[in-house]
A and B are shown apart, each in its own frame.
Chain A
Amino acid sequence: EVQLLQSGGGLEQPGGSLRLSCAASGFTFSTCAMSWVRQAPGKGLEWVSTVSGSGSGIFYADSVKGRFTISRDKSINTLYLQMNSLRAEDTAIYYCAKDQRATSTRGSFDYWGQGSLVTVSS
Chain B
Amino acid sequence: QSALTQPPSASGSPGQSVTISCTGTSSDVGGYNYVSWYQQYPGKAPKLMIYEVSKRPSGVPDRFSGSKSGDTASLTVSGLQAEDEANYYCNSYAGSNNVIFGGGTKLTVL
Interface positions of A (Cβ within 8 A of B): 37, 44-47, 50, 57, 59, 61, 95, 100, 104-110, 112-115
Contact = CB atoms under 8 A, between A and B. Distances in A.
Contacts of A106: 32, 34, 52, 93, 99
A45 B38 contact: yes
User: Size class of B's contact patch?
Assistant: 20 to 34
**Residue among A46, A57, A108, A110 with the highest chain B CB neighbour number at 10 A:** A108
Secondary structure type dominating chain B contacts: strand
A45 B104 contact: yes
A57 B40 CA distance: 29
B63 interface: no
24 contacts: A37-B46, A44-B102, A45-B38, A45-B40, A45-B46, A45-B89, A45-B91, A47-B91, A50-B99, A59-B98, A100-B51, A104-B97, A105-B93, A105-B97, A105-B99, A106-B52, A107-B99, A108-B34, A108-B36, A108-B51, A110-B48, A110-B51, A110-B57, A112-B46
Contacts of B45: 95, 112-115
A114 to B, nearest CB: 6
Interface of B: 3, 32, 34-36, 38, 40, 45-48, 51-52, 57, 89, 91-93, 97-104
Contact of B97 (A37, A46, A50): A50
The residue in B32, B92, B97 that gathers the most chain A C-beta atoms within 10 A of its C-beta is: B97
A109 B57 CA distance: 11
Contacts of B93: 105-107
Contact of A47 (B40, B48, B99): B99
B46 A47 contact: no
Contacts of B104: 44-45
B94 to A, nearest CB: 9
Contacts of A105: 93, 97, 99
A37 B47 CA distance: 13
